[in-house]
Amino acid sequence: MYAAIAAARKDASVILLDKSLVGRGGATVMAQMTVAAAIGQQEPDDWKIHFADTIKAGRGLCDEELSALLCEDGPKRILEMEQWGTRWARENGHIKQEMAPGHSRRRCCYVDFLNTGPAVAATLRRKVGEINDIRRISNIAVIEIVTKDGRALGAVGLNLLDGELVTFQAKAVIVAAGGLTKLYARNSASANMGGEGYALALWAGAELVDMEFVQFFPIGHLAPRLVGMDPIMWDPFRYKLGGKLLNGQFEEFVDRYGGTDFGRYTATRDLASYSILKEVEAGRGSPHGGVYLDFRHIPEVQLRAAFGPVIDRLLLNGIDLTNTPVEVGPMAHYHMGGVRVNANMETRIKGLFAAGEVVGGANGANRLSGNAITEALVFGERAGSSAAEAVKHTQVDWNSELTGVALERVRALKNRRSNGGVPPVALQAELQNLMWEKAGPFRTGEKLAVALARIQQMQRDDLPNASVTDETWYNLDLQDWFELRAMLATAETLVGSALARNESRGAHQREDFPDANESLLKNQVIELRNGEILSRWTAPVQLNRRDESHG
Ligand X SMILES: Cc1cc2nc3c(=O)[nH]c(=O)nc-3n(C[C@H](O)[C@H](O)[C@H](O)COP(=O)(O)OP(=O)(O)OC[C@H]3O[C@@H](n4cnc5c(N)ncnc54)[C@H](O)[C@@H]3O)c2cc1C
Binding site for ligand X (CB under 6 A): 17-20, 25-28, 30-31, 33-35, 116-117, 141-142, 176-179, 188-189, 191-193, 196-197, 230-232, 334, 356-358, 370-373, 376
Q: Bridge-partner residues for 505, per DSSP?
A: 508
CB of 113 to ligand X, least distance (A): 13
Q: Smaller CB distance to ligand X: residue 35 or 298?
A: 35
DSSP category for residue 146:
E
CB of 23 to ligand X, least distance (A): 7
Q: Smaller CB distance to ligand X: residue 141 or 272?
A: 141
Instruction: Count Cα neighbours of 185 within 13 Å in the Cβ-side half-sphere.
Output: 16
What's the helix, strand, coil split of the chain in %, to 5? 40, 20, 40
Q: Smaller CB distance to ligand X: residue 168 or 292?
A: 168
Is residue 479 a contact partner of residue 547, using CB atoms and an 8 Å limit? no
In degrees and rounded to multiples of 5, residue 164 shows phi and psi of -80, 155
CB of 321 to ligand X, least distance (A): 20
Alpha helices per DSSP H over 416-504: 424-439, 445-457, 463-465, 476-500
How many other CB atoms are found less than 10 A from the CB of residue 94? 12
Q: How far is CA 292 from the centre of its chain?
A: 26
Is residue 414 a contact partner of residue 165, using CB atoms and an 8 Å limit? yes
CB of 252 to ligand X, least distance (A): 27
Peptide bond into 224 cis (omega under 30): yes
Q: Smaller CB distance to ligand X: residue 367 or 510?
A: 367
Q: Smaller CB distance to ligand X: residue 142 or 349?
A: 142
Per DSSP bridges, beta strands 442-443 and 35-36 are unpaired
Q: Smaller CB distance to ligand X: residue 16 or 499?
A: 16
> CA angle at residue 18 from 15 to 22, to 5 degrees?
85
* Alpha-carbon gap, residue 377 to 124, rounded angstroms: 10
CB of 40 to ligand X, least distance (A): 19
Q: Smaller CB distance to ligand X: residue 20 or 317?
A: 20
Decide: helix, strand or coil at residue 436.
helix
CB of 142 to ligand X, least distance (A): 4
CB of 356 to ligand X, least distance (A): 2
Q: How far is CA 263 from the centre of its chain?
A: 33
Q: Smaller CB distance to ligand X: residue 259 or 290?
A: 290
CB of 20 to ligand X, least distance (A): 4
